[in-house]
């Protein structure tokens, strides 16, 4: 039971917390094809969420030439949950396409977050569902939609849903 509670803590910050800030868009398709993604080396490493209520460390490792694996450590223990992710760049904005691998493949959705890295701080804003009035069924259509609304404040959560500090160096 204790392991389950820690797992829920890590997932709550990454997936449930955005619901408190708005409704994150759950997409059946990513913003782009993974085969075109390039690794952002600035993401690789250990990142610490220092919130007193939900402290954890997020580890981002390169999985292959296009994707990352994202894992969490809580109370010194690596969590079972592993997420896959990759970067899509739209104009000068970087987006993470993130998918939980602990869900059956036919139930998986993509979460999208715009992110910035400044010094040792990683800040991310979820793409909210407010502007989506009908399902988007292709990556090309999703990319075009996000690009069209890139400067529309309703596309993103008002406040960052995640602010992490790089651990050591």
pLDDT at 115: 97
Tens digit of each residue's pLDDT (9 = 90 or more) over 27-78: 999 999 999 899 999 999 999 987 777 778 889 999 999 999 998 877 666 6
Determine the structural domain holding residue 29 and report its residue range: 2-166
pLDDT, average across residues 97-123: 94
Using pLDDT thresholds of 50, 70 and 90, give the confidence band for residue 16.
very low
pLDDT at 73: 75
pLDDT at 78: 65
Tens digit of each residue's pLDDT (9 = 90 or more) over 75-85: 666 666 789 99
Q: Which of residues 79 and 165 earns the better pLDDT score?
A: 165
Using pLDDT thresholds of 50, 70 and 90, give the confidence band for residue 109.
very high
Q: Into how many domains does the chain fold?
A: 1
pTM assigned to the model: 0.83
Tokens of 53: 């209520």
Q: What is the DSSP string of 137-163?
A: -SHHHHHHHHHHTTT-GGGB-SS-SEE
pLDDT at 66: 97
Q: Which of 64, 37, 59, 55 is nearest to 47 (CA)?
A: 59
Q: Which of residues 76 and 162 earns the better pLDDT score?
A: 162
CA distance 73 to 10: 8
Q: Are the C-beta atoms of residues 98 and 87 closer than 8 Å to each other?
A: no
User: In whole numbers, what is the pLDDT of the chain averaged over residues?
Assistant: 85
Burial 47-84 (b: 16+ CB within 10 A, else e): bbbeeeeeebbbbbeeeeeebbebbbbbeeeebebbbb
pLDDT at 76: 66
């Amino acid at each position: 039971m204790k392991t389950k509670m820690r797992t829920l803590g890590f997932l709550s910050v990454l997936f449930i917390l955005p619901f408190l800030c708005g409704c994150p868009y759950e997409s059946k398709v990513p913003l782009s094809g993974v085969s075109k993604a390039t690794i952002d080396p600035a993401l690789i490493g250990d990142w610490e969420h220092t919130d007193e209520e939900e402290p954890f460390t997020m580890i981002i490792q390169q999985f292959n030439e296009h994707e990352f694996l994202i894992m969490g450590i809580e109370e010194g223990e690596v969590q079972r949950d592993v997420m896959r992710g990759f970067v899509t760049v739209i104009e000068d904005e970087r987006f993470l396409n993130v998918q939980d691998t602990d869900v059956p493949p036919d139930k998986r959705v993509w979460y999208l977050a715009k992110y910035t890295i400044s010094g040792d701080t990683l800040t991310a804003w979820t793409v909210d569902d407010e502007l989506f009035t009908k399902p988007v069924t292709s990556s090309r259509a999703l990319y075009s939609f996000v690009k069209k609304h890139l400067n529309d404040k309703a596309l993103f959560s008002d406040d960052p849903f995640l602010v992490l500090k790089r651990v050591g160096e």
